Amino acid sequence: MNHSTAAPFTPGHRAPGPDSSGARLLAGWHATGRPATLADHLRRYGPPPFTGGTPGLVDSVEAAGLTGRGGAGFATARKLRGVMDGRGPAVVVVNAMESEPGSRKDQFLLAVAPHLVLDGAVLAAAEVGADTVHVCLPRTRTAQHRQLGTAVEERRRARLDPVRIRLHALPHGYVSSESTALVRWLDGGPARPQGSPPRSHERGVARRPTLVHNAETLAHLALIARHGPDWFRQAGTVDEPGTTLVTVSGAIAAPGVLEAPLGTPLATLLDRAGGPTGPVRAILLGGFAGTWLPAENVHTPLARRELAPLGASPGAGVLVALPHTACGLTETARMLAFLAAHGARQCGPCRYGLPAVAEDFAALAAGHAHPELLSRLHRRTGLLPDRGACRHPDGAARLAASAMRTFADDVGHHLTHGTCPAAHRPPRIPVPPATPLETWR
């Protein structure tokens, strides 16, 4: 499914499990084990229920309590209303960039249920008065581009949609999945975050009010349009309703993408992915811009409210189990080097701060101690958040700070005795090459 980078697993080839309880977005996949064609999709769900301008969808989405499944977790109805309140015709953008290296869920969803995502985008477009849906994909995923092209062509032949759907192949930078970077690219610029106001929902693509949603979010929206808010709330918690897609990898027997109600304990998610292959040292939650949690926290529910006190959040649903045999500092150093190389280099923190933190961390991981290394690392890490045009430095700082917290014993060991034995083993978390993007256009 992903032909560009070395995938730690290939969820697309995983046989549908017998446990399909609670699956919504993946229900078709669990039932048939093959990607849904338009005919399959229409048989299962029927055509997208356009209300023809009558108010309805945004109220349903609000009552359902759907939040964005891209990481920020913003209320979907508020975004929709923001665009509806904007001046002039609107634009809808599907964010299918999924640049987080630990995440596969959007690629998987788009491969097995493309029409659910496209339904959601077209329904949202009809609701906000947009005539075009732009689907943004990374340029490197050629197979995905081809599959989605086929799906769009099926819909065009069937004259299913009242709006146009256009696919775009963008440069695959880590920060290119930021919504303002998509808007900037669609307007002919580089796929780098924009930062300054106005916000995309006020003035985005071609200066029009622009709705940018993650692929999974739109698929949930398509089901809410069909089954209503009460149905949606049958899964998840009162505060955080619905199911969510989770990518589980690392020291786990059956890594892959699964669907679970929000509020499911992390331990249950690990078990559903076949269970750990050995004692787990820590869990990386949220991916490269996420948070390391000690294994003691494994019973925490995957929910914003319960994770917030631990400094974590569900993010885009990435869960990596680190085995006891791995060195958390070495793994973190490699991820930080990648994040540093993939900054947009527009702001101070990404030009200097983040590369400096990554270098300090590499020295720590390599056991190159010098007296002020740790205090300098803490100070520099503290200077990253809130000082960039986007949240990239904030995410890197979260990763670095949580690693120093979670692997505090190792930090002490590396500083006083040099590297731990685990640091010499092959790394466990696949990290793409830490080379900057050749082109942003």
Partner 1 sequence: MNPNRILRIDRIACTGQGLCGELLPELIDLDEWGYPILKDRIVPDRLRSHTRRAVAACPRLALHTDDT
Residues that bind partner 1 (CB under 8 A): 194-196, 346-349, 351-353, 383, 387-389
Least separation in angstroms between residue 78's CB and partner 1 is 22
Toward partner 1, which CB reaches closer, 133 or 347?
A: 347
Print the SS3 string covering 207-256.
Answer: HCCEEEEEHHHHHHHHHHHHHHHHHHCCCECCCCECEEEEEEEECECCCE
Toward partner 1, which CB reaches closer, 177 or 244?
A: 177
Least separation in angstroms between residue 81's CB and partner 1 is 23
Toward partner 1, which CB reaches closer, 128 or 350?
A: 350
Structure-token pair, residue 180: 């303002």
Least separation in angstroms between residue 353's CB and partner 1 is 7
Least separation in angstroms between residue 390's CB and partner 1 is 9
Residues 301, 253: Cα–Cα separation, whole Å: 21
Residues 440, 171: Cα–Cα separation, whole Å: 6
For the four alpha carbons of 95, 37, 144 and 396, in that order, the dihedral sign comes to: positive
| C-alpha 13, offset from chain centre | 21
Least separation in angstroms between residue 352's CB and partner 1 is 4
* CB neighbour class for 394 (10 Å; exposed up to 12, middle 13-18, buried from 19): middle
Toward partner 1, which CB reaches closer, 425 or 441?
A: 441
- Give phi and psi for 162, each to the nearest 5: -85, 0
Least separation in angstroms between residue 437's CB and partner 1 is 17
Toward partner 1, which CB reaches closer, 28 or 349?
A: 349
Toward partner 1, which CB reaches closer, 175 or 319?
A: 175
Beta-strand pair 90-95/210-214: parallel
Toward partner 1, which CB reaches closer, 196 or 416?
A: 196
Q: Which residue has the tokens 């280099």?
A: 345
Toward partner 1, which CB reaches closer, 162 or 348?
A: 348
Least separation in angstroms between residue 388's CB and partner 1 is 6
Residues 287, 410: Cα–Cα separation, whole Å: 21
Least separation in angstroms between residue 400's CB and partner 1 is 16
Q: What is the Cα gyration radius of the chain?
A: 21
Toward partner 1, which CB reaches closer, 193 or 314?
A: 193
Q: Which of 333, 297, 299, 291 is nearest to 419 (CA)?
A: 333
H/E element, 130:
strand 130-138
Least separation in angstroms between residue 102's CB and partner 1 is 27
In one-letter notation, the amino acid at residue 28 is G
Note whether 125 and 117 are within 8 A (CB). Answer: no
Q: Which of 104, 172, 106, 180 is nearest to 338 (CA)?
A: 172
Q: Which of 256, 238, 254 is nearest to 23 (CA)?
A: 256
Q: Which residue has the tokens 């599907």?
A: 94
In one-letter notation, the amino acid at residue 391 is R
Note whether 358 and 336 are within 8 A (CB). Answer: yes
Toward partner 1, which CB reaches closer, 227 or 387?
A: 387
Least separation in angstroms between residue 302's CB and partner 1 is 32
H/E element, 95:
strand 90-95
Note whether 140 and 97 are within 8 A (CB). Answer: no
Least separation in angstroms between residue 151's CB and partner 1 is 36
Note whether 283 and 297 are within 8 A (CB). Answer: yes
Toward partner 1, which CB reaches closer, 368 or 387?
A: 387
Beta-strand pair 130-138/164-170: parallel
Residues 319, 416: Cα–Cα separation, whole Å: 31
